[in-house]
Structure 1
Amino acid sequence: MDWSLFGCARKGHVTYAPSEPELRERLVAPTPAGQAWRCLRCGAYATDGQHSSGPAAEAPLVRRGKELRSELLLRVFAVERLFRFLVLGAAAYGVWRFRYDKAGVQRAFNDALPAIRDLYRGLGFDVTHSKLLGFIQHSFTLNPRVLLYLAIGLAVYAVIELVEAVGLWLGKRWGEYFAMVATSVFLPYEIYDLTVKITWLRVGAFAVNLLLVIYLVWTKRLFGVRGGKRAYDARLRAESVIEVEQAAVLAAQPGHG
């Protein structure tokens, strides 16, 4: 799959007119519809898209090929983080409301418990000794102040997940750092949770988070790994259309090489 073409199909072409004449000539072609400029992302000539101009050194760094595939993968993680935000946010709101009417909520929970057990039994799970079920039942004995603190904790956790989701979706470097650190902080707890009891859900959640941390550090060169941000930007420039054309112009000059 050509990820560059896929990116242009979604976002449109990105063209740039360098002020250097010899380089400008290599990036433009006349057409009946007007001048067509070479797209910095897919390399095709286009008469539409986001167009800008200036010195070649100031050309925008456009993600191409594998970088677009990486962007798509991070957006998958972003959607997963957004789902967590929604679940945690709903839980925080539920706990906050629940502290005012524990008796009513407990009655509703006890009435729904048989149906919950039957549902999970049909899926192959036995929730009779579930930690989550035990936590919910224990929460009915907590005083309102403790429940308020619990709601605040869940809300903070939800906000962390939301910031991760936004940063990863936008592909911002701060978002990559934030997601890596925020995810790493909870890995020790997940490891401890696995020592208590191994379930497919816990193993899956731990594997996803661990892979995200490794992927971000390695591919995005965080914390100076593999040369850090400077090496990351240098690789983007080396793969850009502008750089390729500059190299071609230089190679064509007499006496070069």
Structure 2
Amino acid sequence: MDFSLWTCAGRGHETYAPEEVELAERLRVDTAAGEAWRCLRCGDFVIGEPRGRGRADDAPEVPRGRLLRDRYIMRLLAVERVGRAVVLVLLAAGVMKLRGSQEKWKEAWERELPLLQPLADQLGWNPDHSKLVHWLEKAFTLSSTTLTWLIVALLAYAAIQVVEAVGLWRVARWGEYFAVIATSIFLPLEIYELTEKVTILRVGALLVNLAAIVWLLWSKRLFGLHGGARAYYAEHHSESLMTVERAAAEANA
């Protein structure tokens, strides 16, 4: 998949006319339909006026190639974090509703649970051995203060997921560090949950987090790995089409 062409198809080409004559000549051609400027993202020549003009130093830093692919991966991770945040907020809302009327919900639960038994028998599900049922029954006995702290913890965890999502979506350097640190902190909890019971959802969540941590550490060169921040920014700069063409123009000067 050519992420550059895909992005240009959705957002339009990123053309730029530098003031430096030699560099402009490398990015511009004359055609029967008029002048055409080279897209800084996909490299194709686009007929018409350039989207921007100015000094080469002021040209936008347009991600392309592998860097653009990495941006899509980070935004997929950001969407996954938003999904987690939504689930956590819904859980917090449920606990908040429970906190206001525990006795009422407990009576309704005890009244309705026996009615589910015929369906449970057909499905081969035993409510007496269900951790979800045990968790709900335990929740009815928790104090209002404990439930309040549980709500605070759920909302705090949701806030962490949102901050991660914002940093990853914006492809910010601080977001990459925050995502690695925050995700690593909760790994022991996810591993502990697997020691209690192995489920597809828990295994999948753990694998996604492990893959995200390893990928961010290596591809984004965090904490000095793989050359560190200097190599990271040098790679971004060298991948820029404007930088490549400027180097070629200076070599031919």
Shorter-chain TM range is: 0.7 to 0.9
CA distance in 2, matches of 1:244, 1:98: 61
Q: Is the 8 A contact 2:16 2:51 kept in 1?
A: yes
Aligned length: 252
Q: CA RMSD in A?
A: 2.7
Deviation at 1:200, TM superposition (A): 2.5
| Counterpart amino acid of residue 89 in structure 2 | G
CA distance in 2, matches of 1:47, 1:164: 40
Higher mean alpha-carbon deviation, 26-35 vs 222-231, is at: 26-35
Deviation at 1:42, TM superposition (A): 0.4
Higher mean alpha-carbon deviation, 183-192 vs 66-75, is at: 66-75
Deviation at 1:199, TM superposition (A): 2.6
Q: How does 1:209-224 map to 2 (within 5 A)?
A: 209-224=209-224
Q: Is the 8 A contact 2:38 2:44 kept in 1?
A: yes
Q: How does 1:1-257 map to 2 (within 5 A)?
A: 1-31=1-31, 34-47=34-47, 51-110=51-110, 111=112, 115=116, 118=119, 122=123, 128-253=128-253
Residues 160 and 117 of structure 1: is their aligned pair in 2 closer, same or farther, counting only changes over 3 Å? farther
CA distance in 2, matches of 1:177, 1:98: 36
| TM-score, structure 2 normalization | 0.87
CA distance in 2, matches of 1:119, 1:48: 67
CA distance in 2, matches of 1:203, 1:121: 28
Q: Is the 8 A contact 2:120 2:127 kept in 1?
A: no
Deviation at 1:86, TM superposition (A): 1.0
Indicate the SS of the match to 2:36: strand
| TM-score, structure 1 normalization | 0.86
Q: Is the 8 A contact 1:14 1:49 kept in 2?
A: no
CA distance in 2, matches of 1:132, 1:24: 66
Residues 96 and 25 of structure 1: is their aligned pair in 2 closer, same or farther, counting only changes over 3 Å? same
Identity of aligned residues (%): 48
CA distance in 2, matches of 1:49, 1:213: 43
CA distance in 1, matches of 2:17, 2:121: 61
For structure 2, list consecutive stretches of 5 or more residues without a partner in the other structure: none
> What does the per-residue CA deviation read over 1:130-168, in whole Å, with 9 as the maximum and x for residues that have no partner?
434322221100111111111111111111112222222
Q: Is the 8 A contact 2:36 2:49 kept in 1?
A: no
Q: Is the 8 A contact 1:84 1:158 kept in 2?
A: yes
Deviation at 1:85, TM superposition (A): 0.9
Deviation at 1:176, TM superposition (A): 1.7
Deviation at 1:237, TM superposition (A): 1.8
CA distance in 1, matches of 2:66, 2:17: 25
For structure 1, list consecutive stretches of 5 or more residues without a partner in the other structure: none
CA distance in 1, matches of 2:186, 2:118: 29
Q: Is the 8 A contact 1:12 1:49 kept in 2?
A: no
